[in-house]
Structure 1
Amino acid sequence: MLRSRFITFWNATVQPDPLFSPLKLGALELKHRVVMAPMTRMRSAQPGNVPHALNAEYYGQRASEGGLLITEATDITPQAQGYRGTPGLYTAEQIAGWRAVTDAVHAKGGVIVSQIWHVGRISHSSLQPNGALPVGPSAVRPAGDHTNASGQSVPFETPRALEENELAGIVADFVAAARNAQEAGFDGVEVHGANGYLLDQFLRNGSNQRTDRYGGSVENRARLLLEVVDAVIAVLGAPHVGVRLSPWNGFNDMFDSEGEALWNYLAAELDKRDLAYLHVVEPRSDFTTDLPVNDSAPDAAGHFKAIFKGSLISTGGYVAETARAAVADTRAHAIGFGRLFIGNPDLPERLRIGATLTRQDRATFYGGDHRGYTDYAFHEDASLSCPA
């Protein structure tokens, strides 16, 4: 278990707990501000990448009255897939599977949105239809290795650069996924523009070396993301649409030479669209720990707040104290928790009462069965003392 020094009892007789006040994010009515951030778990049923009963149990466990869950990133087409076992949202079977998930969450009074994505170059030909190369804004290979369809670590491949006339199809695929999310009973969608996947690849000039209207200037590089957002808004309405960005985050070999100008432009443009929320991944998180690891990194939520006047969700390395502080000083309206929600299905309640937190098992994060997925205890079933 995590040491109790990371858990704070908030004395409600002194002041209200900032994490447990109601919040309206567009059309999403929340009773608290502890949000489950999207986390890839790679446990869809095969063949077909179909959500199934185990997934419904997992999300249902983590639902709470008026609490927001954001799903794991969900493939909008077969081409969008970058990891084995990730669920899709483009077939009738997948829609039916997700309907069981949303029903389980709504039965507990929870709110759930679907994070829709296309991984772009962060894939492998073994995962692509007909063994095709992954696609990206430009033929720029990311550094490092990836996992193929057999689970082996292999070098990244150089992606095929998308033709300009293909990009309208990418937008249409996001729109189709948004419609399918609505059919599956989701309360909204989150457009995944973060963490080095396709829309983020278009945003940054480390991966986008195009010379057409989707490359070069900040405005051109932001064009595809904004076209996707506008098209999804046209289907669902802005109060049901969120966007996720990861400013100053180098995950998946991402960088940009005009970072501040890019993020300022995006914040201003998204502010015009009356989104349900903007979700930012704080660059201090290094994806391997539950604690802030780089406090000298930019404060993304604080930076965006000066430009984006809507609701902000901030995720990355938060614990109870830092989450409460971020909401109390209005740097963020809600806080996303990732790994802490894996080991603690009742995380909001544990944070509310100051219970100790169960440490999650990293070895069972990706793929597998119920172990490390739905077998974590709720606090009333677990010891509230820390191990020696």
Structure 2
Amino acid sequence: MSPPALKDTNLFKPIKVGSVTLQNRLAYAPTTRRRNTNEFIPTNLIKTHYEDRAENNGGLIITEATFVSPQGGLYTNCPMIHTKQQAEAWKQIAQGVHDKGSAIAMQLWHLGRAADASVLKEHGVPYLAPSAKYYDDSRKKVADKAEIELKAFTWNQVQEIIEDFKDAAVNAIKVSGFDFVEIHAAHMYTLPQFLDIASNERTDKYGGSIENRTRLTLEVIDALIDAIGAEKVGIRISPYATFQGGSGAESKIMHPIAQYAYLYSELERRGKEGKRIAYVHSVEPRVANGADVEDAPEYSTEWVRQIWKGVLIRTGSYLHQDGYKNLIRDVNIDDRTLIGASRYYTSNPDLANKLKNGLELTPYDRNTFYVGGNYGYNTFGKFGEDAKGKDSAEAKLEGVALA
């Protein structure tokens, strides 16, 4: 059964996001692929990847998660926007996407306890989290082997998180020329580690109550609004995620609606006060980070729309369902919803065209996601083109720092 053409749905109607008018409501959701240099600098391979997916698109490209500073990470071969060299490299990518007619947002990342302790040790960076609580034994074993101990952020170090996000946002918008930044507050990295009662055992003003656990995320939001303007700020949130130790809806302590409804309400309050951010990016409960949730229950997320009245990006396995039933329902439910896709964007550079015209999607290859190199990254063809094999010249291209 051929997939339906979506050209007559809201997905292919223009929409204004912040001060930018998109030609459609399709977003390339953040997709970490580890194609950067050892110095966390984007390469020519990354520029090609985003340009290919921006061409004849007109929607929103959201970059892979990008470290705000060395203290915000680290993982190998992931990007950063902290130094002038890193910002100049990203500038070439943003310009390339703009030249192809699409808009681009940079997702800003801070890892906390999810960081790779061995990489932190190599770079002389401390291993920090809201509380000194590993989310599983495997992370403790890595830390023990690297002879680095997980410790709780001090009050001063929490303030540095805010400053690092602000500095990275200024670099992205004012140096690199991005349209938006997206604060990564999903999937149990630093900010959701503060939000989640399972990972936050603090007794200061950043722990305890719902309001206190939300404080840091809102302080980051406010700092970015002041630094670059609300219309250039987005945030990604995953209320139901259990990835990396998140409580999820089965929590015996607190249902995620209790915690996250307050966060959405505070964002909406700012909107009503003239500081409405560009968008909220909400991850549906059918997905956990990059993987589908097995036998995922159909939790209703209608409460998010009832609280937040601004532009909403919804991401979560929309392209895995025959007939795109949930996608069509959700994008047509109002006039302010975008749909995010990630895994099928890796294998379909012309995803917008295929969805618009009802063309078959090329399956993605998870085995190539995090292994580096150009194979499985820029070797997938557009409609009517064959993919390049492992022995092709394209597959053997190596990444070179853009700056």
Moved more, 62-71 or 226-235: 62-71
Say yes or no: does 1:267 pair with 2:264.
yes
Structure 1 partner of 2:239 = 247
Find the residue that maps to 2:114 and give its secondary structure. coil
Contact 1:143–1:156 (Cα < 8 Å) also in 2: no
Counterpart Cα distance in 1 of 2:233 and 2:358:
32
Match of 1:137 in 2: 130
1:294: Cα distance to partner? 4.1
- For residues 120 and 331 of structure 1, the distance between their equivalents in structure 2, rounded to whole angstroms, comes to 36
Do residues 358 (structure 1) and 362 (structure 2) align?
yes
Cα 1:58–1:288 shift into 2, 3 Å: closer
Q: Which amino acid aligns with 1:376?
A: F
Q: Establish whether residue 282 from structure 1 lines up as the match of residue 279 from structure 2.
A: no
What are the superposed Cα offsets for residues 159-208 of structure 1, whole Å, 9 maximum, x if unpaired? Answer: 21001122111100000000110111111100111100000000011000
Residue matched to 1:299: 300
- Per the alignment, residue 112 of structure 1 pairs with 104
Indicate the residue corresponding to 1:24 in structure 2: 16
Instruction: Give the drift of 1:220.
Output: 0.2
CA spacing shift, 1:144–1:336, aligned 2, 3 Å: farther
Structure 2: which amino acid aligns with 1:299? S
Higher relative contact order (CA 8 A, sep 6+): 2
**Once the 2 structures are TM-superposed, how far is the Cα of residue 39 of structure 1 from its aligned partner?**
0.9
Unaligned 5+ segments in structure 2 are: 271-275, 388-403
Contact 2:290 2:343 in 1 (8 A): no
> Aligned equivalents of 1:311 and 1:221: distance in 2?
25
Deviations 1:64-102 (A, max 9, x none): 442101100000111212321100000111111101111
Matches within 5 A, 1:171-182: 171-182=162-173
1:90-239 mapped onto 2 (5 Å cutoff) = 90-128=82-120, 130-143=123-136, 145=138, 159-182=150-173, 183-239=175-231
Deviation at 1:127, TM superposition (A): 1.5
Shift of 1:148: 11
Residue type matched to 2:37 in 1? A
SS at the partner of 1:175?
helix
Distance 2:347 2:191 in 1: 30
**Structure 2 vs 1, CA of residues 19 and 157 (structure 1 numbering), >3 Å: closer, same or farther?**
farther
- Aligned partner (choices 335, 342, 345) of residue 338 of structure 1: 342
**Cα distance in structure 2, aligned partners of 1:199 and 1:288:** 19
Q: Structure 1 stretch 172-181 or stretch 136-145: which is displaced more?
A: 136-145
Deviation of the 1:295 alpha carbon: 5.0
* Inter-partner Cα distance in structure 2 for 1:148 and 1:105: 41
Residue 40 and residue 235 in structure 1: after superposition, are their counterparts in 2 closer, same or farther (change >3 A)? same
Q: Name stretches of at least 5 consecutive residues in structure 1 with no aligned partner.
A: 384-388
Q: 2:108·2:184 contact (CA, 8 Å) conserved in 1? A: yes
Report the equivalent of 2:399: none
Q: More helix per residue: 1 or 2? A: 2
**SS of corresponding position for 1:121:** helix
Q: Distance in 1 between matches of 2:16 and 2:294?
A: 31
The whole-number CA distance in structure 2 between the counterparts of 1:156 and 1:341 is 39
SS at match of 2:264: helix
2: CA distance between counterparts of 1:265 and 1:358?
40
Amino-acid identity (%): 37
* TM-score, structure 2 normalization: 0.86
Q: CA deviation at 1:331?
A: 9.2
* Alignment match, 1:386: none
**Aligned-partner SS, 1:380:** coil
* Alpha-carbon contact 2:110-2:191 (below 8 Å) kept: yes
In 2, the alpha carbon distance for the partners of 1:346 and 1:355 equals 10
Contact 1:286 1:293 in 2 (8 A): no
Q: 1:85 to 1:21 in 2, by over 3 A?
A: same
Contact map agreement 1:214 1:222 (CA 8 A) in 2: yes
Decide whether the 8 Å contact of 2:17 with 2:279 is kept in 1.
yes
Alpha-carbon separation, structure 2, partners of 1:222 and 1:188 = 22
Alpha-carbon distance between aligned partners in 2 of 1:112 and 1:127, rounded to the nearest angstrom: 29
Is 1:368 equivalent to 2:372 in the alignment? yes
Shift of the 210–97 alpha-carbon distance from structure 1 to 2, 3 Å rule, reads same
Pick from 49, 63, 66 the counterpart of residue 58 of structure 1: 49
Question: Is contact 1:141–1:156 with CA below 8 Å preserved after alignment?
Answer: no
Letter in 1 for 2:313: I
Report the counterpart of residue 311 of structure 2 in structure 1.
Answer: 311
One-letter identity of the residue aligned with 2:300: D
User: Bigger CA drift: 199-208 or 18-27?
Assistant: 18-27
CA distance in 2, matches of 1:27, 1:218: 32
Call closer, same or farther: CA 1:213–1:36 in 2, change over 3 Å: same
Question: Quick check: 1:141–1:157 contact (8 Å CA) kept in 2?
Answer: no
Partner of 1:9: 5
Q: Supply the RMSD in Å over aligned alpha carbons.
A: 2.5
AA in 1 matched with 2:352:
P
Task: Give the SS at the match of 2:79.
Answer: coil
Contact 1:22 1:31 in 2 (8 A): yes
* Worse-matched range after superposition: 18-27 or 323-332: 323-332
Contact 1:222–1:266 under 8 Å retained in 2: yes
Scaled by the length of structure 1, the TM-score of the pair is 0.89
